[in-house]
Copies of this chain bind each other. A is one copy, B any other.
Amino acid sequence: MKALVYEGKETLEWRDVPMPVAAAGEHLIRLRAVGICGSDMHAYLGHDARRPAPLILGHEAAGIIEDGPQAGRRVTLNPLVTCGTCTACLSGRENLCPERQIISMPPREGAFAQFVAMPERNLVTVPKDVPLAKAALAEPLAVSWHAARLGLEALHPSMDRRALVIGGGAIGLAAALALRAMGVEEVTIQEPNALRRAFLAERCGQRVSEAAQMHWPLVIDAVGYAATRATASAAADPGGVVVHVGLGDDTGGLDIRRMTLQEITFIGTYTYTAQDFRDTAQAIFENRLGALDWIDQRPLSAGADAFRDLRLGRVAAPKIVLDPWS
């Protein structure tokens, strides 16, 4: 099969690789859509020690079961492969499984390829009327869905359901969409880039703001750097909640004195539970997360160009989705 292989810093090559082999309980999936994540970009730039070259990146994928009795079933892929037997898995917090793996990180190859092998329990059926490119958004949207859910669960019942989202990339936009789907009526996305702001407002119908605004019961930091954490810990109301998604700076930024004197809660979040993934997919299928018509679709064979364009800030859309067969 063909795959887009990460060969080293800023180098991707579209070339032949061996077909993946489905283990017991797994299916071979013919991939039809796979999104580019910030973490793929991070690895592409040589900044992720967990993803050494050569490696097939990509973990936001949808496709079709290739063979066996279920051949032809259209599915979106939960890329998080967990043991299913530990306390975390058994309590519905699979993302905390100590054995967790994710495709695109050794020992599992990723989905920037024509095929991938996935366990049966990681597959969610996609209805006929939902395009696979849209279904591939389940993964990034689930990250934000999970963050929004944890934030709202931690919020004291006396507080208003109003939220600030810091960062207008795919995760920030998805967090705003998830919050709205969960009944939060007032959501503002803070985004310094004017072009991105305009896109969010005009194409995605979001309320946007350039500068930091204060006084939010819930703040979702969808960027994850010290500077955005400083903004988040200043913008949260007394007794409020900051939810953190992202792996920018490892430390710093939080105003711990204010968080202590004003009892602000900080929640680190990573990926999603299996239930969050299924709930997100269902919300997509039922159009509860909006039209999701802001995807930039391209062939995977031209994936190297897509990464370059992203790197150079030439992409207005929050998400590029690649097709391995076009």
Q: A: which residues have CB within 8 A of B?
A: 87-88, 90-91, 93, 95-96, 98, 154, 156-158, 224, 229, 238-239, 244-247, 249-270
Contacts and interface: CB of A to CB of B under 8 A. Distances in A.
A267 B263 CA distance: 7
For the complex formed by this chain, how many copies does it contain in all? 2
Among A238, A262, A268, find the residue whose CB has the most chain B CB atoms closer than 10 A: A268
B156 A154 contact: no
Given A255-B251, A257-B250, A260-B245, A239 B96 contact: yes
Nearest to A246: B260
A158 B87 contact: yes
A96 B256 contact: no
Contact of A266 (B90, B158, B262, B265): B265
11 contacts: A91-B156, A93-B156, A96-B263, A154-B154, A252-B252, A258-B268, A261-B270, A263-B267, A263-B268, A263-B270, A266-B266
A204 to B, nearest CB: 26
A221 B247 CA distance: 24
B268 A261 contact: yes
Nearest to A239: B96
A46 to B, nearest CB: 18
Given A98-B238, A265-B267, A265-B268, A247 B257 contact: yes
B239 A88 contact: yes
Contact of A249 (B90, B93, B256): B256
A50 to B, nearest CB: 10
A257 B251 contact: yes
Contacts of A90: 158
Given A93-B156, A93-B263, 17 more contacts: A87-B158, A95-B263, A96-B238, A247-B257, A247-B260, A247-B261, A251-B254, A252-B252, A258-B268, A263-B267, A263-B269, A263-B270, A265-B265, A265-B266, A265-B267, A265-B268, A266-B268
